[in-house]
Amino acid sequence: MSALSVPSPLPRLLNRELGTLEFNRRVLFQALDETNPPLERLRFLSIMSSNMDEFFETRVATLQDMVEAHPLATTPDGMLARDVLAIVSERAHALIADQYRVLQHAVLPELQRHGIRIYLTADWTPAQAEWAQHYFDTEVSPLLTPIGLDPAHPFPRVLNKSLNFAVQLHGTDAFGRNIELGVVQAPRALPRIVPMPPDLGDVRYGFVLLSSFMQAFAGQLFPGLDVLGVHQFRVTRNSEVFLDDDDITNLRAALQGELRARHYGDAVRLEVAAECPQVIVDRLLRENNVVPQDCYRVDGPVNLVRLQEILDHVREPELLFPPYAPRLPAGWPGADVEIFDRIRSRDLLLHHPYDAFNPVVDLVKTAARDPAVVAIKQTIYRTGGDSQLMEALIEAARNGKEVTVVLELMARLDEETNINWSSRLEEAGAHVVFGVVGFKCHAKMLLIVRREPVDGKQKELRLYAHLSTGNYHSRTARLYTDFGLMTANPEICEDVRRVFLQITGSSRVQQLARLWQSPFTLHANVLAAIEREARHARAGKPARVWARVNALLEPRVIEALYAASQAGAEVRLLVRGACMLRPGIPGLSDNIRVRSTIGRFLEHSRVFYFHNGGEAEVYISSADWMERNLLRRVEIAIPILDNKIKAQIIREGLRVQWQHPGNAWDMDGEGNYHRPRGSRSRLSCHQVLMNSRNARRD
């Protein structure tokens, strides 16, 4: 594609890492938003902390590796990686400081007004201190291994994201050694939030942080020495998994070795308590080989993710979002062979979490027990450690079905769970395939082969498929927005069969009739569809590109969208997270709008809608518009052939977010986000869709 003439001096792309930080600022706003229930505000703070952990483990770690390998390395937007690191550090420090201000001055006071309080050491009454001492003696101290640092006990290499305490000491131990510093690592088995007995507090729900127990009683771990201070700290490490594709003979064994190493990768961030003395900070920086800009002083616990434990102890529904029960499709038969009649009669769309995930589990359970089913093939990316669906696949294998599971061992942060499932599946007799080395299998596919009579004649094999934008994970299906399609369409099912053949066998690229597949055709077809809309616009015809993705980072797709905008096509993009495209730039992207929705549910589905001269073309997909998804993964995009379902996806997956922007943010050409103006609706798209399901149920 030729370069476009742009009257603006701005770079054509925004920076990915800065876009990710902006996404986390939008998450933080949910914790500040007083219209959200108090415990949900706490949950958003925890979600932001989890996001930031992964940001440092992956994105910051990647930037640091780039700079170390080549000091003049640049990111795709043209910035020097070292400059990006400096800006990221500045903005991350400001963002995390804001996060703790929201915690201390907004969320915790609001929780206390509702009878939920965290008792710090200075707040304890004598009775509370007595209880705390007993708890420390019986539940905490026996699990701790204090280390007094001397030449025989060097500074320990602490686990990634573990809670640790630097203990300032003064005195001489039993062997005459002068000890000035000790380190205590908190075992992960210890809860970070401990409920206080109700009769000891002045609120309904009182809690004590593990760090408060340590502040009060750490001296007992070093008897005979004076404790001058106890300071919590946490180290975040590079958690990317690197495998040499040319030197792998057993992927599972190689990955298990890398996962052990992940816990001790290079440090990328140091978090310390705000009051930690500089002399201790300097020692921690040296021992972990990080620079001062990588140190984050925090006003509170160093890991806000663990504050979510409070939600497990508080039984106050009014402090949470009102409960919502996903609906089942009308006349859904449950785990019954009539499921196949239902799918064969017409394609079925599920829109999670508004629609229940049960039909997907029912489908696999039914296939596992139905004598007419002879084979089941499924891809698994993330599914969780406790999965009815996986148990059904194991049951199917034990029942003599030909079960093939493409299990992606390289699913980031879920590798260990998937390794465990792979062993159980193999023990049951299933065929387990670990995808394609070098190409993560991110496609969400289920194929069922059933022998059944056709037109009352001899039995033949018939294919059924479930294809989705989201993972086969019952818990996240209640929290993430995703589309799933059940179909018996022969062309689509045959395409799915061929994709499985590519993954599990050794074959040339299979020509597909309906599906777009990466790394072969998806990228090219997306570009071609966008360019077709540009041609229509130049010819004076209506032209439209609407899309919904989690991230928009692939430069050639961005250039195609710029060209479509210049041609006059309407481009509307729903991008939850990082977006490197600049919308609304005169002469470049005048006709492009970008919106991000952050709210009760995590926006996760991918939808592509092209006007196509009035013959609307709609796809749902597992792939974001990122280079890795379009060119380095196994992904699919599924065409929607049923006009009624097509209209539903446009209405519920795209249009509703533009009509009801109550939890939306609009992006400008500088990468900043603003609340939409001019809309008469204050409802969020999530609430609108829940209301529509409730009305249908009534």
Q: What are the catalytic residues?
A: 442
Backbone torsions φ then ψ of 298, nearest 5 degrees: -125, 145
Separation between Cα atoms, residue 482 and residue 480, nearest integer Å: 6
DSSP strand pairing (295-298 vs 673-674): unpaired
Q: Of 449, 421, 451, 417, nearest to 433 (Cα)? A: 421
Separation between Cα atoms, residue 129 and residue 35, nearest integer Å: 36
DSSP strand pairing (673-674 vs 664-667): antiparallel
Cis peptide before 519 (omega within 30 of 0): yes
Tokens of 650: 């446009």
**DSSP letter for each residue of 318-373:** GGSPPP--PBPPTT---SSTHHHHHHHHS-EEEEETTB-SHHHHHHHHHHHH-TTE
**How many angstroms separate the first and last alpha carbons of the chain?**
53
353 and 326 in contact (C-beta within 8 Å)? yes
Q: How far is CA 646 from CA 257, 341, 550, 574, in A?
A: 46, 22, 21, 18
574 bridge partner residues: 548, 595
682 bridge partner residues: none
Can you state the angle between helices 16-32 and 38-54, rounded to 10 degrees?
160
Separation between Cα atoms, residue 419 and residue 270, nearest integer Å: 30
How long is the chain?
A: 698
* 3-class SS of residue 406: strand
431 bridge partner residues: 404
Backbone torsions φ then ψ of 330, nearest 5 degrees: -55, 130
Separation between Cα atoms, residue 10 and residue 669, nearest integer Å: 9
Q: Count Cβ atoms below 10 Å from residue 434 Cβ, excluding itself.
A: 20
Three-state secondary structure of 504-573:
HCCCCCCCCCCCEEECCCHHHHHHHHHHHHHHHHHCCCCCEEEEEECCECCHHHHHHHHHHHHHCCEEEE
Q: Tokens 């589309």 belong to which residue?
A: 483
669 and 10 in contact (C-beta within 8 Å)? yes
Separation between Cα atoms, residue 592 and residue 581, nearest integer Å: 9
167 and 227 in contact (C-beta within 8 Å)? yes
Q: How far is CA 108 from CA 51, 104, 511, in A?
A: 21, 6, 58
The CA-based angle 178-181-185, given to 5 degrees, is 135
Q: Of 136, 309, 274, nearest to 214 (Cα)? A: 136
* 3-class SS of residue 456: coil
Task: Report how far Cα 183 is from the mean position of its chain's Cα atoms.
Answer: 33
The number of CA neighbours under 13 Å toward the Cβ of 192 is 19
The CA-based angle 104-110-115, given to 5 degrees, is 115
Separation between Cα atoms, residue 359 and residue 346, nearest integer Å: 15
